[in-house]
Structure 1
């Protein structure tokens, strides 16, 4: 599962922040000892325990000391649990790779590979199969300008050509205007469809190029909402870029999105 390693690293980063925050709180001025609570007539009684577990009674008008002692105990427990989990994650990720099973096959020489059928298809095999599956894209209306990409594929706009050429130069396989059915909306033709190596699921890139035109923008918002209704969310399986006459497609944004989602 290609997401496992990423999930573990994200969890590690999260826990490191939590532990750092808890330790920072403990390094501030904190009272000695720990808090003991007893219940008397359904009301809590607080004790500060320093040299023994019985402790010294904390008067009711001292509301701050029980809170600080309780917070101290909580933070210590967070540090203890967080550090234990961090050790586990680091042990796992030290010698772990999402594609370690695949590498058993791909590390073989070609002659040996010809004799072996991998238990699981390799990423390249899956990607090739996905890419070679035929589909019928959206038809071009008569009179539509002829715009060709570096790959020789026809697209509908100069911005789509810019995007397609970026993908082509980086050897990123895509399908142009592959039909996708969205429940409650109908069939859409995402500008570009990719197969994600991280999730083995399709992700979609929609470029909305005339957002300063009211009718176009209204239709674009409705379409994007329909993606989300079908549980395809921006930042997960949907990449969106925008453009107006004043704000053209930003090449740096393209590069960042490719780096984040497609490489």
Structure 2
């Protein structure tokens, strides 16, 4: 299920590894070792051949080494991630349960008839008119690849990924909950089951008033039976922690 996603991650990770290795090679040989001696901390320059004490007057040299230490730790994390992906892909080289399922013509034929019926229904659902959010249309200033107007660049990224992955959706479609009119960011349908999944993106988590209003909306969605982690997707963003295409793709791989 996730093999294609993990395979697509390998070139990016290997590129990061190469860039880190080049960066590390620009630093002095060896690494920094810190050892406590009573109330004091001693600095040592370690190489494969020897250990050399670094006096405090060589502070800049110690700074270079500690930066290199961090890059080396980061490099090891990336290499472990690549190794984990290779292990996963090696394990999944054998036929998947889905491939075994489709190899049986009795199951496959009935499933394909059912899937075609569901696919037709979802296409009709996507194309059908619906009541969209009439509030503050002037804030819809970002044009998406489909030609729709949305309220943020992050919503445009989400829509783009939904389209790329063939996921039926409606943007800010009316949902009536307890006599309230709510307009979730994206109302989506699972391609294989038709299950309705709401995707709410909270894009201003550093704005207290926005957070308060958004959580009220989420509370109403939960009362309507939309459970976070099940059929309610919640993604978050602040100025210092933007939503990225990788986060969106990971979210889609998990829920769809």
TM bucket (normalised to shorter chain) is 0.5 to 0.7
Structure 2 counterpart of 1:234: 228
The one-character-per-residue Cα deviations of 1:187-223 (angstroms, maximum 9, x if unpaired) are 1111111112354221110001111111110111111
Structure 2 counterpart of 1:104: 109
Structure 1 counterpart of 2:209: 215
Task: Provide TM-score, normalisation by structure 2.
Answer: 0.54
Q: Distance in 2 between matches of 1:119 and 1:245?
A: 45
Q: Map of 1:4-23 to 2, 5 A cutoff?
A: none
The DSSP-based 3-state class of the residue aligned with 2:139 is: coil
Q: Relative to 1, partners in 2 of residues 1:101 and 1:259: Cα closer, same or farther, differing over 3 Å?
A: farther
Structure 2 counterpart of 1:253: 247
Task: Provide TM-score, normalisation by structure 1.
Answer: 0.53
Structure 1 counterpart of 2:118: 123
Q: Relative to 1, partners in 2 of residues 1:164 and 1:102: Cα closer, same or farther, differing over 3 Å?
A: farther
Structure 2 counterpart of 1:11: none
Shift of 1:161: 0.9
Question: Which of 168, 171, 181 is equivalent to 2:166?
Answer: 171
Q: Distance in 2 between matches of 1:165 and 1:142?
A: 20
Structure 2 counterpart of 1:30: none
Are the counterparts in 2 of residues 102 and 120 from structure 1 also a CA contact under 8 Å? Answer: no
* Superposition CA RMSD, Å: 3.0
Gap regions ≥5 residues in structure 2 = 1-96
Shift of 1:105: 6.4
Q: Relative to 1, partners in 2 of residues 1:102 and 1:130: Cα closer, same or farther, differing over 3 Å?
A: farther
Q: Distance in 1 between matches of 2:243 and 2:115?
A: 40
Larger radius of gyration: 1
* Number of aligned positions between the proteins: 159
Q: Does 1:196 align with 2:190?
A: yes
Structure with the larger helix share: 2
